[in-house]
Copies of this chain bind each other. A is one copy, B any other.
Amino acid sequence: MIPLEEIKQISITSPSKIVMLIIDGLGGLPDAKTGKTELETAHTPNLDEIASKGVCGLIDPISPGITPGSGPGHLALFGYDPIRFTIGRGVLEALGIGFELKGNDVAARGNFCTVDEKGLITDRRAGRITTDKCVELCALLSQIKVQEVQSFILPVKEHRFSFVLRGKGLHDELSDTDPQKTGVAPHPAKHTKSTAKHTADIINDFIKKASDILARQHPANMILLRGFSKLPNIPSMNEIYKLTPAAIAVYPMYKGLAKLVGMKIFSADGDIKEELEILTDCFGEHDFFYIHVKRADSAGEDGDFERKVKVIEQVDSALPQLLNLKPEVIIVTGDHSTPAVLKGHSWHPVPLLLYSQWCRPDDSKEFSESVCVSGGLGRIPATDIMPLAMANALKLTKFGA
């Protein structure tokens, strides 16, 4: 990919508008009986119509064979090299619950776990306590005072919580306390750079106090922390592309990811129809729109082929509202594949559809994995989408004389 520093030199502002519609987990695998993927099974006259006028291809979010997490998958879509710009587990967990991380906060992913009388871990997930119990225990831990810094203990789901420290001089060069196995004691947090020693001391002090408080809370009688991290130092989309980008999403993690790169967040809590209503309302105020559709991925994760097909059909039937706005560039793709048969994210390349007046149309007559294989865009890294979108919106000047 071309370095962001170079894109920054050649990007210009113009009235044209780009809509990037992300159907989370879009790519799939064929159903054993029909030989068709979820997208190929879905009846999608609108997507097929855009594909006929536009150009198709396949994207690799990270690299062929690599299954992306949501963080790197989205960073790549927004044009950021997902290998250079990494989002720590702790940060992602905090974004996922909508916690407003600040620049110097250190965040970690927390687990309630079970230890025996010798302090050795017997269950890294404390028997997957209920979320209600997790909320109760987080409230207990929130009373802990540690030297001169604020701590936030935020329930996530079952045994999971988000741990955030806020204060001066905090560093995230710290090793996990979670040994990732049972039969051993939790590790103390250790600094991997000397500047983080003070932060390690604070965390170990916290863990000691948490251990005392939880002593009688079997099975959740201890905590494990991993993925200590700060917000990545990432240039905003405005800085690089000179866009005023907006995000329309339901789930906190995607709003958090969009916020990381400087998008204005519009919260939805319904389906694609509501998201497109929001798009219509704010269409005049922005020139880039990221719209996130979560439910295709959820259906894929649940192994529910039919439900994923239905989500894609719902998106398709809502599309006329988007088309009526006549954005200069429309991108439809996903942040990764989530084949229902695999019940999880996968490494398969993701169908990509680009429409603009200036695209070079290919022969694609429908939007599907099979057709995208021979699409005019070829198979490209996801990080190429933003330069292509910008070019098609006539927002990039010439590189070099």
Q: Is the CB of B379 within 8 A of A66?
A: no
Q: Is the CB of A384 within 8 A of B6?
A: no
Q: Is the CB of B373 within 8 A of A69?
A: no
Is A64's CB within 8 Å of the partner chain B? yes
| Identity of the chain B residue whose Cβ is nearest the Cβ of A376 in the assembled complex | B373
Q: Nearest chain B CB to A101's CB is how many angstroms away?
A: 15
| Identity of the chain B residue whose Cβ is nearest the Cβ of A37 in the assembled complex | B360
Contact of A399 among B10, B62, B348, B397 (CB under 8 A): B62
Q: Nearest chain B CB to A154's CB is how many angstroms away?
A: 16
- Report the bound CA distance from A220 to B348 in whole Å: 58
Q: Is the CB of B374 within 8 A of A1?
A: no
Q: Is the CB of B401 within 8 A of A87?
A: yes
- Report the bound CA distance from A72 to B6 in whole Å: 13
Contact of A384 among B65, B83, B401 (CB under 8 A): B65
Is A231's CB within 8 Å of the partner chain B? no
State which residues 363-401 of A face B: CB under 8 Å. Answer: 363, 369-370, 373-380, 384, 386-392, 396-401
Q: Is the CB of B69 within 8 A of A401?
A: yes
Contact of A68 among B370, B380, B399 (CB under 8 A): B399
Q: Is the CB of A86 within 8 A of B400?
A: yes
Contact of A400 among B71, B369, B384, B390 (CB under 8 A): B71
Is A92's CB within 8 Å of the partner chain B? yes
Is A206's CB within 8 Å of the partner chain B? no
| Identity of the chain B residue whose Cβ is nearest the Cβ of A92 in the assembled complex | B401
CB neighbours of A373 from chain B (8 A): 362-363, 374-376, 378
Q: Is the CB of A360 within 8 A of B400?
A: no
- Report the bound CA distance from A225 to B49 in whole Å: 50
Q: Is the CB of B64 within 8 A of A398?
A: no
- Report the bound CA distance from A72 to B400 in whole Å: 6
Q: Is the CB of B68 within 8 A of A400?
A: yes
Is A227's CB within 8 Å of the partner chain B? yes
CB neighbours of A345 from chain B (8 A): 398
State which residues 342-373 of A face B: CB under 8 Å. Answer: 342, 345-349, 358, 360-363, 369-370, 373
Is A30's CB within 8 Å of the partner chain B? yes
- Report the bound CA distance from A70 to B401 in whole Å: 6
- Report the bound CA distance from A37 to B379 in whole Å: 22
| Identity of the chain B residue whose Cβ is nearest the Cβ of A387 in the assembled complex | B65
* Most B Cβ at <10 Å: residue of A29, A64, A72, A73: A64
Q: Is the CB of A66 within 8 A of B396?
A: yes
Q: Is the CB of A370 within 8 A of B363?
A: yes
State which residues 60-103 of A face B: CB under 8 Å. Answer: 62-73, 82-83, 86-89, 92-93
Given the known interface contacts A379-B379, A384-B65, A391-B347, the answer about A83 and B401 at a Cβ–Cβ threshold of 8 Å is no
- Report the bound CA distance from A342 to B69 in whole Å: 39
* Most B Cβ at <10 Å: residue of A37, A72, A227, A389: A72
Q: Is the CB of A401 within 8 A of B71?
A: yes
CB neighbours of A82 from chain B (8 A): 399-400
| Identity of the chain B residue whose Cβ is nearest the Cβ of A75 in the assembled complex | B400
- Report the bound CA distance from A358 to B37 in whole Å: 13
Contact with B along A7-44 (1 / 0, CB 8 A): 00010000000000000000001100000010000000
Supply 15 A–B pairs (Cβ within 8 Å), ascending by A. Answer: A29-B358, A58-B378, A63-B384, A65-B389, A66-B391, A67-B398, A68-B398, A71-B401, A73-B400, A345-B398, A346-B391, A347-B391, A362-B370, A373-B374, A377-B379
Contacts from A to B (Cβ < 8 Å): 1-3, 6, 10, 29-30, 37, 58, 62-73, 82-83, 86-89, 92-93, 227, 342, 345-349, 358, 360-363, 369-370, 373-380, 384, 386-392, 396-401
